[in-house]
Amino acid sequence: MGVTATQLRKDLFQTLDRAAQGETVEIDYKGATILLKPASTSKLARAVRRPTILVNPDELVGSDGALQDELEGKWDREASQLSTIPL
């Protein structure tokens, strides 16, 4: 789609909507052609790299037996307190 700067000003939002839908827009301004090309819309192109832990999850849980025992004891105490709350 090609438009002049005047047409762009008049139909700005319609032109932007067309570009957002994937259409390339060429704008003629003072003898120069400005190309408005939408970014890739694929899911892979929008993917964001996230830090990950590359180990077996069981190794994380079982890596510190004392910590695991402490946490399980705390969870058991909290669960027993919840069971004593009247409804």
Predicted local confidence at residue 62, as pLDDT: 63
Predicted local confidence at residue 87, as pLDDT: 65
The dihedral built from the CA positions of residue 58, 60, 61 and 64, taken in this order, carries a sign that is positive
* Residue 85 pLDDT exceeds 80: no
Predicted local confidence at residue 13, as pLDDT: 92
pLDDT digits (tens, 9 = 90+) for 42-81: 777 778 888 887 877 777 766 677 888 899 999 999 988 8
Beta carbons of 25 and 3 less than 8 angstroms apart: yes
Domain ranges in the chain are 2-39, 54-83
C-alpha span between 25 and 15 (Å, rounded): 8
pLDDT digits (tens, 9 = 90+) for 16-51: 888 888 888 899 999 898 888 777 667 777 788 888
The residues near 23 (Cβ < 8 Å, ≥ 6 apart) are 1, 38
C-alpha span between 70 and 66 (Å, rounded): 6
Predicted local confidence at residue 10, as pLDDT: 94
Q: Does domain 2-39 have CATH number 2.40.300?
A: no
The pTM (predicted TM-score) of the whole model is: 0.42
Beta carbons of 53 and 61 less than 8 angstroms apart: no
C-alpha span between 46 and 55 (Å, rounded): 26
Predicted local confidence at residue 12, as pLDDT: 92
